[in-house]
Amino acid sequence: MKLVTFNKEHLGIVTDAGVVDVTDLAGLDANFWPPVGMVRLIADFEALQPQLADAVASREARPLDSVRLEAPVRWPNKVIAFPANYHAHIDEMKHGVGSGVISKYKANGQGFFLKANSSISGPNDAIVLPPLEGREIHHECELAIIIGKRGRGIDAACSQDYIFGFTCLLDMVVRGTEERVMRKSYDTFCPMGPWIVTADEMGDFSAIKMSLTVNGELRQSAVTRDLIVDIPEMIAMASAVTTLEPGDIIATGTPAGVGPVKDGDIIEITIDGVGTMTLPVTSGTVGNHSVWNATKVPASA
C-alpha cells in the first residue's frame, strides 16, 4: 500500500485510479495542529485495515496529478540518522570530500544523531540553500525507514515487526566542522516522499537499490546490502537508547558520490520499490550567522 499526505494535511491511499482520501479514518481534522494525522494513521493502521480496504473499494479516487503531495510524515516524534554507513562513502570522505578523521567514526562505532523535524519538506518543495559564502552544501541520498509501533530494546531479529514502511529521503548538509545537527537542520534539508510504501510490498530489505542524479548526471548509486550497520541493527541500536514511536523516521545513511549543489540544479532520487522525487534547488536569503565564519574549509559530515 502507498500512503500519502496531500493538499496540506489530507491523508490518502494511492491506487491505480488515483488518491483515495482517508483523512477521517485517522480521527483528526485535516486542519489539526500539530500535523500528526499520518502518525495517528500509522499507530492505528492494524486496527484500521478493514476501514481502509472499504475506503479503497467504495470511495472515489482523485487523479494523482490533481493533488499536491506533501512530506508523508510531517510531524514525527524524531528523525534518527546514521552517518558514515557505507564503506565507499567513508573512503571518499578521506580523500577530499571531507576530513580523514571520518574513518574513525563509522556508524557501527559512532552511532546515530538526531535531525530537526523542522528540516522536513515534501516532494513538491524546493531545497533552499542558505547564503553561506565559501561553504559547500551537499546532497546525500538515503532510504528512510518509517517505524510502525512503539518499542524499546528491540532485538535485531525482531526488527521487521517494527517497520511500517519506507520512503525516499535526502539528508542535505553544510560541509564544515560545526555540530552535525546544526549543519543538517536547515529548513528544507530533509526532503521526503513521494509516499510511504508499506513494508509488505518491499520484499528483501537487504536488496533495496537507490540512486541520485543532479541535472541528469548520476552521482550516487547503492544497494542496502552494502550498509555497514544494516536495517535490523539500526533499529536495535536506536531502540537501545530511545523508545521508538509510530511515525519515527530512521535515515539509513548515504552511499558514495555526495557532492555540492547550487541554485538552479535539479536533484532526482529514485529508490526501487518506493518511487522518485525530483526537487529543484534554489538560493535563499535567510540562514547566515557569524558561527559559520569560524572556518571555510569543507570537512566531514
Q: Decide if pLDDT at 183 tops 80.
A: yes
Q: What is the pLDDT of residue 105?
A: 57
Q: What confidence tens digit (pLDDT) does each residue in 202-217 have?
A: 999 999 999 999 999 9
For 249, residues 6+ apart whose C-beta sits below 8 A from its C-beta are 73, 76, 78, 79, 80, 144, 145, 146, 147, 169, 192
| 209 backbone dihedrals φ, ψ, rounded to 5° | -95, 145
Mean pLDDT of 136-146: 98
Closest CA to 107 of 88, 85, 128, 124: 85
Q: Which three cell numbers stand for residue 146?
A: 518509517
For 82, residues 6+ apart whose C-beta sits below 8 A from its C-beta are 107, 111, 112, 229, 234, 250, 251, 252, 253
Q: What confidence tens digit (pLDDT) does each residue in 92-119 have?
A: 655 554 444 444 556 677 899 999 999 9
Closest CA to 5 of 53, 76, 54: 76
Q: Decide if pLDDT at 175 tops 60.
A: yes
* 181 vs 104 pLDDT, higher one: 181
Q: What is the mean pLDDT of the chain?
A: 92
Residue 292 DSSP code: G
Q: Which three cell numbers stand for residue 202?
A: 518491499
What's the start-to-end Cα distance of the chain, in Å?
34
Q: What is the pLDDT of residue 294?
A: 76
- Chain position carrying cell 558514515: 84
- Cα separations in angstroms, 221 against 80, 90, 210, 239, 269: 22, 15, 6, 28, 10
Q: What is the pLDDT of residue 223?
A: 96
Q: What is the pLDDT of residue 88?
A: 64
Structural domain spans, the chain: 2-66, 79-284
- Cα separations in angstroms, 16 against 62, 120, 137: 10, 28, 38
- Cα separations in angstroms, 90 against 48, 61, 207, 226, 228: 43, 45, 21, 12, 11
- Its sign, for the CA torsion 147, 149, 152, 156, is negative
Q: What confidence tens digit (pLDDT) does each residue in 242-275 have?
A: 999 999 999 999 999 999 999 999 999 999 999 9
- In angstroms, the CA 46 to CA 299 distance is 45
- In angstroms, the CA 46 to CA 280 distance is 36
Closest CA to 203 of 168, 165, 167: 165
Mean pLDDT of 25-49: 96
DSSP 180-241: HHHHT-STTSEEEEEEEEEGGGS--GGG-EEEEEETTEEEEEEEGGGBSS-HHHHHHHHHHH
Q: What is the pLDDT of residue 91?
A: 59
pTM of the model: 0.92
Q: Decide if pLDDT at 139 tops 70.
A: yes
Q: Give the architecture-level CATH label for domain 79-284.
A: Alpha-Beta Complex (3.90)
